[in-house]
Amino acid sequence: MERKTADNLGVLLRSYEALYNWRALVVLAGSFAVAGLAIIGGSDMAMGGGGRMAVAMLLGLVALVVAVMGVNGSGLMLADQAYDRPIRSFMSAFLGGLRVTLAAIGVLVVLALGYALVLLVVFLLALLARIPGIGGAFAFVFAGPSVLVLALTVAVLLLAAPLALAGLWHGDGMTAALTRAVTIVVKRPLDVFMRFLVLGLIVMPAALFLFAMVGMGDMSVTGMYLVDALRSMGGTYGGMGGGGYGGMGPMAALFGSLMGQGLGAAGVSTALVWYLAIAVVGLIHMLGVIWIYESVSDGSG
């Protein structure tokens, strides 16, 4: 992309061009769907208790890994789009997503350790204020600057992470992406924050509209399947006893019967639609983060 175009704040309006990248949408939505199904399966197993809890936790971990890899794989495809490169294949995005995920974990660990180190230094300086006689002078000298340092550290922690991720999607190594992101935030914290704020204001209307439409459709369709399930059950649910279902009585029996009548399958199906809606919004935001990274970076590398 041209530098002049990237420096224009209005380039964030082009974040909606992410929807033209159908490959990235397939990767992101597909990963969310697989992760969501794993979470649903894990939740069902967790309700069974016993040894199933370990399997449920394993499925939860698998869901997290799949979702993160999907985000990074689609992020690589969006970076190809933003920098006018040929969109990579699904396999290349998958393998690249794994590499970026490992690097992203490293970035988060380094940022967290950096914050902990700064917090430790501030704490040690605060101990000087306990020295009898001269403690007040140390408190006056160090307290104010400590507030500024901690504020800047929090800004780096919150803003440098997405910028570093965009750098990894761009093709930078972990060290280069982290160094550039931290440098940008330290030099231009308010500039970076305002760009993320503008991006949020751009994405929010689409998110509200899309979620509202899907929500209304979900309530209507779920109501239809609920009525059909109750009708197909006839009057049998009224005489369900309290045996079984862990002693929860007729309400548990009714819930189990409704799930058996297809309401559970309908819920899983509608959940997949929600994952698609979330992927659409996420894709728009991710391309916006790439535009922000390009607009605030120095263009080197």
Q: What's the first-to-final CA gap in the chain, in angstroms?
A: 14
Give the model's pLDDT for residue 212. 93
**Is the confidence at residue 255, as pLDDT, over 50?**
no
Q: What is the dihedral of CA 113, 69, 55, 42, to 10 degrees?
A: 110
**Is the confidence at residue 265, as pLDDT, over 90?**
no
**Is the confidence at residue 238, as pLDDT, over 60?**
no
- Cβ contacts of 108 within 8 Å, gap of 6 or more: 161
CB neighbours (10 Å) of residue 66?
Answer: 20
Whole-angstrom distance, CA of residue 50 vs CA of residue 299: 55
Give Cα separations from 116 to 110, 113, 179 (angstroms).
10, 5, 18
Give the model's pLDDT for residue 109. 93
Residue, of 134 and 285, whose pLDDT is higher? 285
Averaged confidence pLDDT in the chain: 81
Whole-angstrom distance, CA of residue 297 vs CA of residue 290: 11
Residue, of 160 and 268, whose pLDDT is higher? 160
Mean pLDDT check: name the lowest of 9-13, 59-63, 82-86, 284-288.
Answer: 9-13
Does this model's pTM top 0.95? My answer is no
- Cβ contacts of 93 within 8 Å, gap of 6 or more: 23, 24, 27, 73, 74, 76, 77
Highest mean pLDDT among 75-79, 138-142, 250-254, 261-265: 75-79
**Is the confidence at residue 231, as pLDDT, over 70?**
no
Query: pLDDT tens digits, residue range 29-67?
Result: 999 888 888 877 777 666 655 557 777 778 788 888 888
Give the model's pLDDT for residue 120. 94
Give the model's pLDDT for residue 3. 47
Residue, of 229 and 189, whose pLDDT is higher? 189
Query: pLDDT tens digits, residue range 193-230?
Result: 999 999 999 999 989 999 999 989 888 877 776 665 55
Residue 242 banded pLDDT, cuts 50, 70, 90:
very low
Which single residue is written with the structure tokens 């197993």?
45
Give the model's pLDDT for residue 251. 40
Query: pLDDT tens digits, residue range 126-171?
Result: 888 888 878 788 888 888 888 999 988 888 889 999 999 999 999 8
